[in-house]
Amino acid sequence: MSRPTFNLGQFLEKEKLKTNGSNFMSWYLTPRILLTPHKMNYILDAVLGDKPTDSTSQYEKNVYNSKAHDSSFVQSGMIYAMEAELQKRYENMGAFEIITDLKAIFAPQARAKRYEASELFFSARMEEHISVSEYVVKMSGYVQHLNALECKILNELAIDRALQSLPPIYKGFVLNYNT
């Protein structure tokens, strides 16, 4: 496995995880993005497992040691990127255990934010007095916000939703666009 040549904590420090978890979803996305090219995102998805026994093959010991090193690297970066109160709470936990606990605590809060953001997106209607470009920017912002909250909106759906929310005077444009 390749070793990262970047300081994970330095990137995560730009947005330290707040003790109240208000920025958890965007904070959680950062290590996933940074670890993926290094093929280390597995650390956030599964427990490391038990330490190999003496009877374990050398290959399996090497694999475990490599994964343990990666896990320690990620755990250090994550703890570095938290406010002090959270650092104390998680200093003796592994990376997977930290993420699992944070999700349990902050996921319901994130779910409520996703609900509110999706309601804004799916109930939006363009008012006749604003420009189409302003409205497209507004709808694009809703989509970006939902994607940041791990509610992936496909481009086709976003376009369909924007077209559906246009006032009746744009009916001809919508028909032309769809044909």
pLDDT at 61 over 70: yes
Q: Is residue 112 part of a domain?
A: no
Reported as a single tens digit per residue, the pLDDT across 6-23 is 566 566 667 789 998 888
Question: Residue 151, by phi and psi: left (phi above 0), alpha (psi -120 to 50) or beta?
Answer: beta
SS3 call for 179: coil
Reported as a single tens digit per residue, the pLDDT across 102-151 is 989 988 877 888 889 999 999 999 998 888 899 999 999 999 888 877 78
Whose tokens are 């475990």? That residue is 64
Q: Is residue 113 part of a domain?
A: no
* 81 lies in the same domain as 142: no
* 96 lies in the same domain as 157: no
CB of 8 closer than 8 Å to CB of 31: yes
pLDDT in the model for residue 21:
87
Q: Is residue 116 part of a domain?
A: no
pLDDT at 4 over 70: no
Last residue of a domain, one of 42, 77, 106: 106
Q: What are the two backbone dihedrals, phi and then psi, of residue 17, each rounded to the nearest 5 degrees?
A: -65, 125
Closest CA to 79 of 64, 97, 67, 62: 97
List the domain range (segments joined by +) for residue 62: 1-106
Instruction: Please state the domain count of the chain.
Output: 2
Query: Alpha-carbon distance 163 to 114, whole Å?
Result: 22
Q: Largest Cα–Cα distance in the chain?
A: 76
* 61 lies in the same domain as 26: yes
Q: Is residue 111 part of a domain?
A: no
Query: What share of the chain has pLDDT > 90, as a percent?
Result: 45
- Banded pLDDT at 157 (limits 50, 70, 90): very high
- Mean pLDDT calculated for residue range 70-90: 92
pLDDT in the model for residue 5:
57
pLDDT at 84 over 60: yes
Query: Alpha-carbon distance 125 to 120, whole Å?
Result: 10
* 19 lies in the same domain as 94: yes
Q: Is residue 23 part of a domain?
A: yes
